Structure 1
Amino acid sequence: MKRWLRQRVDATYERLLSKEISGAPTHVAVIQDGNRRYARRRGGNAHDGHRAGAETTERVLEWCQDIGVEELTLYTFSTENFERPAEENEALFDLLCKKLHEFADADRVHENGVSIRAIGETEMLPERVQNAVEYAEGRTYDYDRFVLNIALAYGGRSRLLEAARGVTADVDTGDLEPDEIDVEDIEHRLYDQPVRDVDLIIRPGGDERTSNFLPWHANGNEAAVFFCTPYWPEFSKTDFLRGIRTYEHREESWRRTRARRALALIGAVSEPELAEARSIVDRFRDSLPSSERPDAGDLESNDSNSRIAD
């Protein structure tokens, strides 16, 4: 297909997707995959791919803010990436330093109240990268309208392991009772500042795996996952909107399932459980097909029958 025709088709599809989307996930997490393969295909080196990928990152940040996403996490450098050639990593570290300073000084970042945070074992990074992280975090520390998490020297299982060790140490010293351990005890040990549950993971580049990315916040929340084939530098707004649509379909399915289960329980449960089930049906009634939607009279009738049976 000729380039001009492809552009017109893509633009039309993007407009169609924009009209179909009615909401936005709160927290989107992106695995920025395919930079090096993109560069090799074009006859360049890894640094060329990372530099092109950084431009995509800036666009995605804008798209998230445009549709109302409140938190974006970018899987930028994993602990396994230290095994790559030193020359490649050094060039990437230089790029990270440059982009962190640019982001921290950008007018749009301050105008939109973007808080930049790094998550991961940042002490493993070269000092110049640590300094750039400190600069970006310090410049945007007081903002809370949008959160940009940059996962650097990151490994999901290692973070969970450290959190578990912290809990164990507190139990050993008597500062924490085993039966008092709850979700908050784990979460506040994972990162220095709170991270929202992940609603949507996006991975370009063709691989269909989440690569140990935010396991506590994504798996625990049953996040939607969108895989696509373009390499990260080629990732377009159309691809992004397709990911958002995947999230919306996942949410609609979840609400429909919750409503159906709650509806099935009405009339066959105790009074407290009945009240909760009716509340769920009321909240998610519109997600059911019209043929399955009960009216208020049906719910009241079921409620009365349950009390008579009791």
Structure 2
Amino acid sequence: MYSWLSRQLRRAYEQVLRREIGEGPTHVGIIQDGNRRYARKQGDETPEGHRAGASTSEQVLNWCEQLDIAELTLYAFSTENFDRPPEEREPLFDIIESKLYELADSKRVHDTEVRIRAIGEIDRLPDRVQEAITYAEAETADYDRFRLNVALAYGGRNELLRATREATAAVDAGELALEEIDVETVESHLYRQPIRDVDLIIRTGGDERTSNFLPWHANGNEAAVYFCAPYWPEFSKVDFLRGIRTYEAREESWQQTKVDRAVTLIQALGEVELTEARGIGRRLHEQLPGRGLEEVTDELPTQHSAASEEPTETEHTQTKPAD
């Protein structure tokens, strides 16, 4: 009776969270932490924790599809993981290899047009894992409705260091001028595959750090971060929806900050002609949410009226609403 009631309450809570969520993020990155601790808690060997975690990863694909999320990056194996003992690494490589083949041959993956890609220092992985990566990427290369990136032998600091070295080498070789180095140049030298800037990073397992994960794509985009306690195999749809809700709350706050700055800018125009003020407003148009644009637009006649002693029929005074 208790388990049935618990399931009903969880489903009801999922529905509440789902109603609270709007468009949501485009690209979510997940640090899948806690597989080993989960196995110890269950009294199992470490590989059993990784197998349970792989099942959770498949569930997350379903949740992303339901929420119209376009891209998911899973942090499956970091460069630091090479320091683990062989008896722990090899079973994990076996799981990664088998899951890549399984996904590449999955009817669901092909029906929903999932493109599978690996990012990281792939050449450091065992040959059998590299072959599985090649197979999965080739089988899904024509799809682009949803992108699944698997971060393998991945380290964000190494990624940026390598991009810097390659750009510097191009300058030394006379292939690139120093002043030509820009964002696009750096991105062209990042690991293997281009990915979108990440909007939300989720980390399970209780640790509150991002562990060298997607620094270029997350920091430049001011990604939201959601830390939660459940180990990765225990990660639920409720946890996922809470992460999305955290992203939306942060996004709303960030957009309001942009609105406040834009309003301050318009107010500071003071004696500037209305036409020039409107020109600035138009340039801000694509950077502001609709409600924020209204706040900025409301300021324009006010400022012009203050600067003009005899407004025309179309230029009337408008009182700014109280905060």
Tell me what 1:56 maps to: 56
Query: Match for 1:118: what amino acid?
Result: A
Instruction: Determine helix, strand or coil for the equivalent of 2:196.
Output: coil
Aligned equivalents of 2:66, 2:174: Cα separation in 1? 48
Tell me what 1:87 maps to: 87
- Mark the runs of 5 or more structure 2 residues left unpaired by the alignment: 310-323
| Cα pair 1:114 1:147 within 8 Å, conserved | yes
Query: Match for 2:291: what amino acid?
Result: D
Range 84-93 or range 273-282, more displaced: 273-282
Tell me what 2:25 maps to: 25
Query: Match for 1:43: what amino acid?
Result: G
Instruction: Determine helix, strand or coil for the equivalent of 1:209.
Output: coil
CA drift at 1:179: 1.2
Tell me what 1:222 maps to: 222
CA drift at 1:280: 3.6
Aligned equivalents of 2:277, 2:133: Cα separation in 1? 49
Tell me what 1:213 maps to: 213
Tell me what 1:11 maps to: 11
Aligned equivalents of 1:233, 1:79: Cα separation in 2? 22
Aligned equivalents of 2:14, 2:200: Cα separation in 1? 19
Aligned equivalents of 1:72, 1:15: Cα separation in 2? 22
- Give the 3 Å change call, closer, same or farther, for CA 163–215 of structure 1 in structure 2: same
Tell me what 1:191 maps to: 191
- Does residue 138 (structure 1) correspond to residue 138 (structure 2)? The answer is yes
Tell me what 2:149 maps to: 149
CA drift at 1:267: 3.8
Tell me what 1:302 maps to: 303
Query: Match for 1:52: what amino acid?
Result: A
TM-score, normalised to structure 1, is: 0.92
- Give the 3 Å change call, closer, same or farther, for CA 90–143 of structure 1 in structure 2: same
Aligned equivalents of 1:38, 1:207: Cα separation in 2? 14
| Cα pair 2:32 2:76 within 8 Å, conserved | yes
Tell me what 2:268 maps to: 268
| Cα pair 1:226 1:246 within 8 Å, conserved | yes
Residue by residue over 1:219-263, the C-alpha shift from the partner in whole angstroms, topping out at 9 and shown as x without a partner, is 110000000000000000000000000111111111111001100
Tell me what 1:256 maps to: 256
Residue by residue over 1:173-222, the C-alpha shift from the partner in whole angstroms, topping out at 9 and shown as x without a partner, is 11111111100000010032311000000001000000000000001100
Aligned equivalents of 1:287, 1:298: Cα separation in 2? 11
CA drift at 1:286: 2.1
- Give the 3 Å change call, closer, same or farther, for CA 177–272 of structure 1 in structure 2: farther
| Cα pair 1:75 1:151 within 8 Å, conserved | yes
Higher CA-based Rg: 2
Residue by residue over 1:68-99, the C-alpha shift from the partner in whole angstroms, topping out at 9 and shown as x without a partner, is 11010000000111111201111111111110
Name which of 269, 283, 291 aligns with 1:286.
291
CA drift at 1:4: 3.0
| Cα pair 1:259 1:280 within 8 Å, conserved | no
| Cα pair 2:199 2:223 within 8 Å, conserved | yes
Query: Match for 2:15: what amino acid?
Result: R
Query: Match for 1:207: what amino acid?
Result: D
CA drift at 1:43: 0.1
Aligned equivalents of 2:154, 2:197: Cα separation in 1? 17
CA drift at 1:298: 3.8
- Mark the runs of 5 or more structure 1 residues left unpaired by the alignment: none
- Give the 3 Å change call, closer, same or farther, for CA 230–297 of structure 1 in structure 2: closer
Instruction: Determine helix, strand or coil for the equivalent of 2:149.
Output: strand
- Give the 3 Å change call, closer, same or farther, for CA 297–152 of structure 1 in structure 2: closer
Aligned equivalents of 2:189, 2:173: Cα separation in 1? 17
CA drift at 1:295: 7.8
CA drift at 1:303: 5.0
Instruction: Determine helix, strand or coil for the equivalent of 2:61.
Output: helix
Tell me what 1:118 maps to: 118
Aligned residues: 304
Instruction: Determine helix, strand or coil for the equivalent of 1:221.
Output: coil
Where do residues 240-251 of structure 1 align in structure 2 (5 Å cutoff)? 240-251=240-251
Aligned equivalents of 2:186, 2:120: Cα separation in 1? 15
Instruction: Determine helix, strand or coil for the equivalent of 2:189.
Output: helix
Aligned equivalents of 2:258, 2:296: Cα separation in 1? 17
Aligned equivalents of 1:306, 1:49: Cα separation in 2? 69
- Give the 3 Å change call, closer, same or farther, for CA 135–3 of structure 1 in structure 2: same
